[in-house]
Each structure stands twice: as C-alpha cells, then as structure tokens.
Amino acid sequence: MSLEVMSQQRGIQNTENRGSKNKGEKLRTILDDSTKTIYGMNTSRYMSKDNFLLGDTAFITLDSSLTNIEKVSPDEKNQFTYQSLGNIGTPINNIFNYYPSTFSISSGINSLNYYYLVSSEAKFYDTRSPYIDLSLFFGGNGRSMVDFVFSRNINKNWNIGFDIHRISADKQISASKAKGDKNINSSLFKLFVYHKSEDEKLTLYSDFVSFRHQILGNGGVDVDYDSLPLNFFTYNDFSTRLKDIENLERRKRLNLFLNYKIIEGLEIYNDFYFKTQQVEYMDENYVENAPYYNDFFLSNISTLDSIKIKSVANRAGVRGLLGDINYNFYANYKNLNYLYTDNLNTNIFNEIYLGGIINFSRKEFDILTDFKLKTTGDYSLLGKLKSKVFEISYYSGLHVPTLFQSSYSGNHFQWDNEFNSSFINTLEAKVKINTNSIMFSPFIRLSSIKDYIYLSNEKNPTQHDEILINNQFGVNLNFNLFNKIINLESRYSYNTVSKSSADIFNIPKHHIYSRLFYNGKWFNNSIPVQFGVNAYLRSEYYGNAYEPSLQAYYVQNNFLLERNLRLNLFYAMQVKNLRVFLKMTHFSQFDKFDGYFVTPYYPAQKKVLDLGIKWYFFN
C-alpha cells in the first residue's frame, strides 16, 4: 500500500510517462511572428482531482512520448501482475495484492473496477482552445477500443468536456462465427465541468458518469485439470463449460466538488458523490448448463440474479500549506443500501470516519502521515519517508468486510456471514541508485494479514484466523546505451508465503518483466521512432479461478498454470500530433496449436497483429 503525496502549490509532480509540466502563465500561449495564438501541446493542460486534494496544484501538459504506447490491456500496462480471462475487457484480478482497495465500506464486486475507475478519473482541464484526444485500437480477432476526449474552455475561468470509452471484443475461444460473436461490449460516458474563479479562490468541479459493461461468457474451456498440460490448443474448436451466459454491470456517478481558499494557507472543501451499481447474471440455457451448477436456490429453469446498490458519500474538510507542512483534515459520511433479486427489503449501512493527511516536504526528503478512523474502531494508518535515494513506508489497518463477503443471495450461491475486520500490516522499502545510463532499485515488501477473507474452492467466503504472511523481494533495473538509443527496462520479483498461507496465497515465485527497445529519430531527425520487444515470464502456480455467476475470482489448488514466456514485438512512430504503433501480440507462439492458460480454463490471447493510433487535435 502506497500513497503519493506532493507539496501544495510547489509544482512538484511525478510526470513519468505523462508529459512535461507547464511552468507559469508564459506557456499558456505561444505567439508566432504575426502575434496569433497557436494552440498545441503546451497550451492544453490538466490536473487530477486526487492530486489537487493531496496538495499538488500544478497543471500537467499532454504526454507526447512513444514510451509504452503499445500497451493497451490492463495486464500489459501493469507488467502482467494482473490475470484476466485472456481477452481485452474481461474481469481482472491482481495476482500480488490481496488487500482491500478502499477503506470505506464497498460492494466488494470489483472485478471490473479497473475499466470503470481508470476511464472515469476526475481531471481539471484548462485547454484554452477546443481539444480532442482520440485513441483507436484495432486488434486482431475482432478486438477494438476507442477513447475519445473532448474539452474546451468557454472562457479563461470555465471548461467543459466529455469522455467516451468503448471496448468491443469477439470471443477468442469457441466462437460460433468468424466475426461478430461478441464476448465484450463496454461503454463509458463522462460529462464534466471545471471552474476557477477570477480571484482564484473558488474551485468547482462536477461530473456525471454512466458505465455499462456486458460480458457474453462461456465459463472457459471444458478441460479436466488431471489431463494438464495440454499438448495443443484448438481455440475455436474447444468445447466450453457454459453456453450463452451473460454478465451485465451498470454504474452511474454524480460528483460535485467545491474548494474555497479563505486565506493563504487555509482552504475548505466539500466532495459529494451519489453512486449506483447494478450487477446481473443471466443464464436461460438450463438444459445444457445445469450440470455446471451445484445448487439451485431460486429456480431450476433459469438464472436471473441481480444486486442493486446505491450510495451517498460526502467528505468535508480543511486543507492548506503552513511553511513546509501540507495538511488535509476531513470528516467522511457514507450511506449505502443494497437489494438482491429475491429480497423485498432494502439493507442499509451508515458509516462515518475521520481522516487526515500531513506531509512535511523539504528539498532533501518528504515525510507523510495518512490516517483514517471509523466510529467502529476500524482504522487505516500509513507512514512514508521518501528521499532521492531511498523510500520506506509502513501501513497498518483494520478493514471491515465488504457487502459481498457478508451477504449474498442468488440462484446458485447464498450466504450470510458475520466476519471480523481483517488486520493488515505491510512494510515496504526500496533504494534507488541513478547514473546517466543505469537505474538500479532493489525493493522489499513484507506483508501479514490476520482474519483474511477470501472465496474458497467451494466459492464461498471464508475467514482464516491465522496470520498469513507474504514477502516479496525484487529489483528494478534500467539501463541505456549509445546516448539512450538502446534501452532496457526490467523488473524481477521473488515471492514467498508462510506455511499458514499455503493454498490461500497462490502466487508465482518468480515474475519477470522486460522491455528492450530502440529509441531514435529518422528522416532527418524529424520522426521519433521506437521498436523492440516486451517480455513477460512467470513461474508455475495455482492461479485463482473465475466464477461467472459471482463475477469474482476464487482460490483453487487443482488447476496448475504452467510457466510461460510471452513476447510482444512492437513498432511505434510519431508524426507531429499523431502517434501510431504496430504490435505482434504473443509473438512467442511459434506453433498455431501452442498456448497456455492465464487463468484456469481460460487460454491466453493467441498470436495476432494489432494496430493503434493516438491523435491530438487543437483548434
């Protein structure tokens, strides 16, 4: 667990792979010889609302680099520390992180969180002119993604815009036709407005988000784990464990954020959210699918499970900068209610907690304290010390069970549990040694958790009362040759678990990621170019399996995921505001019948050719 907090109004920002920072108003406009305003990369800026609340009020200009542009899916972007169902847009699971993603009580149905949270991130735009960010991905075997961002300033104090994100993917296994047999249909729409008053005392941001994610699944391929490893992968000729099932998740969000500067160093703010989440599982193919299920609680003809969740949250606080100390103290209230298909009464939860962030920042180091305390006694405490050479952090927390872990009612699973809060402790440290051509950074993470809650092999929530320990040791190593023409980025981790954690924390012992690439400029130094290979290697392990009717991953210890090496070749180039990449995904599949499983019963993406475009437009 980590949290990046920077100093308020200092212009200190982590800009890795996100472009350069706008330093002052003189970059807001660029004048040519005829004194006409030219709009472009330096005049279109944004600021994350989360960073703003953490005290970083510096705007960031757009990212124009080619580095990592070829990475599209969540597992690629996160160095394959996630597992998916082998296709873009499918539910994902973090292999190495077993801890709750939020301190506040949540639904716990989160296998699609990545697609919702990343695309709906709140950003304050100051674009001066109309601005469009268009990203297109055309993947082999009927996979595609579209990201369209439009923003424009009405005047220097008001900005409006919208985001559209689309994912569409055909089935990669057991498709009934060559094209158009859909596996994923996902769309997210966000409408936003940002305002900064003339005297710069009032900041207002509001957005509305609508998210719809449809999975037309099949339960994975029908293989017996006793027959592993498979000698060949037939993909479309595989028989599947389920037929014609559907997961559908809808979310909506309304956010209103206000921040007012009373005096220099003292500001007050209010952050209001109204959210809905509706999750459905449908299976009307009873005749063929019945043998897959163990129980039928509601109907033995078809399955139409749903859960509807509504929540209202409001955070009010004071924040500011006193000398070298950035502070943020707040109170958070949340009301959450949910209703299952067969229930007549709505279940209601209310939650109140206090929190604060204190960041002492000097040129040589930063010291951070982040704490939260609920009226129930659950707490979250993070301490971090960071310098140019090393970073060390300690996290401790008591986390209440999610709604999904506590209560569930569906056609194939039902439970009502009274679990204790999980007690988590994590110590992380890393050292960073930099020279002109080498970056060497060893790291360590020591983690323990008591009263851990997980989905067992029987697909029911289970609480383990012993202390479970997971330790990770590794190193990041980057180097470049010939004045950064040849570059290598790599990360290796070695993971161990205690005896009490065996068969619960299932993670690969060895995990390696490398990116070896050429970086240069062609055609009279006018066209930036990168090409190279992304390599991913992990050792064998019993990876978590996926249950479609619960839309969740669960622990299993029968289906062994073999060691695998994946190589992706890529070529990327840039012409002014246009960037293009071409990628051979899973180039290491030299035999068309070769393959491996990324999740039990779900084969990895086979070899395909992918094309991507990212284009900025300015008025």
pLDDT in tens, 311-364: 999 999 999 999 899 999 999 999 999 999 877 778 899 999 999 999 998 888
Kindly state whether residue 2 falls inside one of the protein's structural domains.
no
Q: How far apart are CA 411 and CA 408, in angstroms?
A: 10
Kindly state whether residue 208 falls inside one of the protein's structural domains.
yes
pLDDT in tens, 443-463: 999 999 999 999 999 999 999
Question: Which residues, 6+ apart, have CB-to-CB distance to 566 below 8 Å?
Answer: 80, 535, 536, 537, 586, 588, 604
Half-sphere exposure of 357 (CA within 13 A, CB side): 24
Residue appearing with tokens 């029968």: 558
Residue 510 near residue 494, CB atoms below 8 Å: yes
pLDDT in tens, 278-287: 999 999 998 8
- pTM over 0.85, yes/no: yes
pLDDT in tens, 135-152: 999 999 999 999 999 999
Kindly state whether residue 13 falls inside one of the protein's structural domains.
no
Q: How far apart are CA 372 and CA 355, in angstroms?
A: 4
Count: domains in the chain? 1
Instruction: Give 101's pLDDT tier (boundaries 50, 70, 90).
Output: confident
Kindly state whether residue 211 falls inside one of the protein's structural domains.
yes
Residue appearing with tokens 């070899």: 607
Half-sphere exposure of 7 (CA within 13 A, CB side): 16
Kindly state whether residue 96 falls inside one of the protein's structural domains.
yes
pLDDT given at position 38: 72
Kindly state whether residue 18 falls inside one of the protein's structural domains.
no
Residue 333 is classified by DSSP as E
Mean local confidence (pLDDT), 497-509: 93
Kindly state whether residue 70 falls inside one of the protein's structural domains.
yes
- Average model confidence (pLDDT) across the chain: 91
Residue appearing with tokens 């993670």: 507
pLDDT in tens, 195-233: 999 999 999 999 999 999 999 999 999 999 998 999 889
Rounded to 5 degrees, φ, ψ at 117 are: -70, -45
**Residue 118 lies in domain:** 25-618
Specify the 3-state DSSP secondary structure of 219. Answer: coil
Is the pLDDT at 616 greater than 80, yes or no? Answer: yes
Distances (CA, A) of 499 to 33, 469, 493, 570: 72, 8, 20, 42
Q: How far apart are CA 305 and CA 549, in angstroms?
A: 8
Instruction: Give 11's pLDDT tier (boundaries 50, 70, 90).
Output: very low
Q: Give the DSSP H or E segment for 76.
A: helix 74-77
Rounded to 5 degrees, φ, ψ at 121 are: -55, 135
Domain CATH code at residue 431: 2.40.170.20
Q: How far apart are CA 132 and CA 368, in angstroms?
A: 37
Using alpha carbons, select from 115, 17, 84 the residue that is nearest to residue 566.
84
Kindly state whether residue 9 falls inside one of the protein's structural domains.
no
